[in-house]
Each structure stands twice: as structure tokens, then as C-alpha cells.
Structure 1
Amino acid sequence: MNRQAQAAVLFLLGAALLHAGLTDLYLRYVKAGLRPMLLASGVVLIAAALATVWYEWRAGRQRPQGKGHAHPEPRVSWLLVLPLLALILVAPPALGSYSALRTGTALQQPYGYAALPADGPLRLNLVDYAGRAAYDHGRSLGDRQVKVAGFVALDRTGTPYLVRMALNCCAADAQPVKVGLTGRIPPVLQPDTWLEVTGTYTAKRTKDPVNGGPIPFIEVTGAVPVEAPKDPYDETWNN
């Protein structure tokens, strides 16, 4: 790979990072808070590519004609093309039920619980509901109606769970938070279908067979399919 090829690869990789960062594509890879760093990386790579082209052009003008020769770079440098191809050709789906059922719950006891509205149905983040149900034993929920959303996962026995994948940094460290469904469960559930579930707190719970972590349940009174959110991952669990 000569310098011109290196510059082309750097430019395309930077452009791909900018494309991902300026659209919702980057949410498949990293959490939303890393968007500025992703955009900055794209700008740096493009700047490096342009600087390489300029340096080669200037060196070519200063070099006497017919003198000098290029030193080929190691062939391993072509591996730089692989992440470029991955960004351009592959748009992986967000992690779903397959990963959720093979990874232990990431639910952790929160430091505290935010105050809830005094009346009306509660629209809660699934991780927030799970924390209140598992560690606060539903005291802050009482018998109030709750709405939570997530994707469906079915274990080997057919028990349905509503899941959100939580992450610290990127999709590589994503872990599930699971809430079991009981009560008026829809008769047909497809894994990875996104649902908004309406229900109430129940003391029923189980242990995650992977890591023994707590999985609380919700007493379902209704459920409707919803579109998957633009950001399929949840970042609130470790805040």
C-alpha cells in the first residue's frame, strides 16, 4: 500500500465515521454520548488523509525527476480496509433476544429513586421499573398503572420477558435488563418484537439462570406493538 492508497483509505474511513455520526447508524455501535468523539475522529482521519496527499505532492515537486523510489508499506496495512468495509457494507441490527438470553441480567441496585408524578399512569424506563420492583419492592409504585417498553425474549420454557440492553460504552459491553411478564399476556409473542406493556407491580420474581441476578415481573393488563426506538440501547442503568 503506497502513500496515495493510505490517504484514500484514511479519507474513506473518516467519511464513513462522519456518515455514521451524522445519522442514527452510530447508535448501533456506541452510546449516544460518544457522538462528538466519533465525529471528531472522522474529522481527524480526513485531515490526516489530506495532509498525506499534500505532503506527497510537495515531495514529488521537490524530488528531481527520475530520482528516488517508493518504499512499499507492509501488506498487513491493508487490514485497515476491513473496518471500512464493515462500516460501509454491514449495518448490524441491535442486539436482541439471542444475546439477552445468553447473558446475565445487568440490573443493579440504584443509589436512589426519582420522585414520581402524583397521579396518572406512570411511563417508566424499563430499567427504572426493574430497579424499583426488585430493590424497592414496589413501595414507590404501589398499585399504580405503569407503562414500560422493550423487546420480547422467550426462554426455553416459553416464559416471556421484556428486555432492554444496557451499555457502558459500546455494543460490545451491552448487557440485558429483564422484566418477566405475567397476567394478561398476548397469546402470540415473537422474539425481538417491541412492545409497550401496561401493568402493575407484582411481588413475583425469579433468578436469572445465567448469573443468578434478580428478574422482577410486571402484572400485564395490556400490551401493544411499538416501533423500535432510534436508540435501542439503554444508558440509564449505570447513571
Structure 2
Amino acid sequence: MRRETQNILLVLLGGALLKISFSGLYLRYVQKGLLPLLIAAGTIMIGLAVFAIVQDIRRAKAAAEGDHDGHDGHDGDEQQHSHSHSSRSTWLMLLPVMAVFLISPPALGGDVVSSAADTNQTQRSRNLLGELPSGDVIPLSMTEFVTRTAWDESGTLDNRRVKLTGFLTRADSDTFVARLAISCCAADARPLKVRLTGDVPALPNEQWVELTGKVVPKSASEKNSWVPSFTVESSTSVAEPVEPYES
């Protein structure tokens, strides 16, 4: 790969990282806590490219000022021609960069929920369970709701009105509200889903909603892969949140 190609790729890759960092798009790929690392990585890439470009310009000026009498530039032309052929494939590395700049891939959604193994839903330890807040309606993350229905044998959620936020997805004749949780980045996303009963909203798949209702006691079991059921009392369509993933 020619040095010019390397420098261009560094600038574009660094620019792509900074773009998704400052625009908030990085939340579709990684957790919020990794923002400083993304900004640092993008800044370092661009800084290395600028440093290399300055060094190349200085070397070129020094070479131009030297005495090159009798130098045969034929070999250099052949070498440059050879490098131009060998570096063509490296431009394919620009495809993911252009995807970030031009396409902006959406956050993962229902396809991941449908294809992932359901047994990964409740891989949380019992020590995450704490006291539920007071109030007529308890807003809970999907992670906490699914974890409690699987591990909390005391039934603290029974007869408590809960608010859940997620997107709708369907399988066979069942409708689910789902959310994806990540530990680090979108590559390790795991699905969390809840089967809906009662006043199920007649909205398209992938539509984000806020649901208020109650858990069906003892509905999560090993037989149904620990997927709880939720009786919907009211629902509201909402926009996709800025942070689509839970952690």
C-alpha cells in the first residue's frame, strides 16, 4: 500500500469515528461509556495521518533541492506503476467508511430477537434484584423486568402496574415487546422479549411503544425459555430512543 493511500485511509477512518461520536450515532454500535475512547481513537488516526503527510512533504522538498543529475527515473516509474496496481484493492477498505458517512446503518432490531437463542435472555445473577420503587406505575427496563420474572420467586411484581419501553415484534400468532441489551457493543447484543396479552397494540413490527400493564404471575418458565407474559392495559407509540440498547 502506498503511503498516500495509507494517509487518506487514516484521515477517513478517523473522520468516520469522530462523525459518529459527535452526532450520537455511536450509540447504535457501542455503549455510551466508550465515547471518550472513540474520540481519542479518531483524533489519533487523523493526527498520525497529518504527521505522515507533513513528513512526506518535507522529504519531497529536500529531495527536490538535492542534486539528481544522472538519475534515471525509469525504475521509479515502473515501481510507481506496480504500486498503483497493488493498492487498488486497498480502496475497498473505504466501503465501511462510506457506509457510515452516507448510509448510517440503523440500530439492531426484530431480526436479531427472532434469530437469537432465547436462553440468553436472563443471564443475570440474583444479586441484581433490589427493592422496587413505590408508585402506582413502576417504570422498569426490559432487563430488570425479565430478570425479576425469572429469578424473583417472591413475586414482588405480582399485581404491580409496570411501564415497559421497547419495539414490537411478532412470531407465529404471538406479539412481543422486545429490547436488545449489550455489554460492550452491538456485536454482543442479546434479546429481551415479553409476550403481550390483553389490549395488544395493533401496530407494525419495529414500532417503539410504551406499555402499561401487569405481569402474568409465574408465566416465565424453562418451558417457554423464561419469556414472561404481560397484560397490556394501555399503550402509546413513541420514537426510537437516542440510546436504543440497554446495558
Whether 1:233 and 2:236 are equivalent positions in the alignment is no
Partner of 1:54: 54
Alignment partner, residue 17 of structure 1: 17
Task: Provide structure 2 residue ranges, at least 5 long, that are not aligned to the other structure.
Answer: none
Contact 2:215 2:228 in 1 (8 A): no
- Return the index of the structure with the highest Cα Rg: 2
**One of 209, 212, 226 as aligned partner of 1:198:** 212
Partner in structure 1 of residue 190 of structure 2: 175
Is 1:107 aligned to residue 129 of structure 2?
Answer: no
Cα RMSD for the two superposed structures: 2.3
Q: How many residues align?
A: 231
Aligned counterparts of 1:138 and 1:161: Cα–Cα separation in 2: 25
Match of 1:93 among 92, 103, 106: 106
TM-score of the pair, normalised by structure 2? 0.84
Q: Any gaps of 5 or more consecutive residues in structure 1?
A: none
Deviation for aligned residue 1:137: 4.1
Work out whether residues 165 and 177 of structure 1, in 8 Å CA contact, stay in contact via their aligned partners in 2: yes
Once residues 79 and 57 of structure 1 are traced to their aligned partners in structure 2, the CA distance between those partners, rounded to angstroms, is: 26
Which AA in structure 1 matches 2:138?
L
Structure 1 contact 104–213 (Cα < 8 Å) conserved? no
Aligned positions of 1:1-239 closer than 5 A: 2-63=2-63, 64=66, 66=68, 69=76, 72=83, 74-75=86-87, 76-105=89-118, 106-110=121-125, 111-137=127-153, 139-156=155-172, 158-186=173-201, 188-203=202-217, 205=219, 213-235=225-247
Give the drift of 1:227.
Answer: 1.1
* Residues in 1 aligned to 2:55 and 2:156: alpha-carbon distance in whole angstroms: 64
SS in 2 for 1:100: helix
Q: Is the 8 A contact 1:137 1:203 kept in 2?
A: no
Q: Distance in 2 between matches of 1:109 and 1:28?
A: 23
The change in CA–CA distance for 1:137 and 1:150 in structure 2 (over 3 A counts) is: farther
What one-letter code is carried by the residue in structure 2 that aligns with 1:215? Answer: V
Matched-pair identity in %? 33
Q: CA separation in 2, counterparts of 1:116 and 1:52?
A: 57
Between Structure 1 and Structure 2, the one with more helix by share is 2
Whole-Å separation in 2 of the counterparts to 1:17 and 1:129: 34
CA contact (8 A) 1:130 1:215 kept: yes
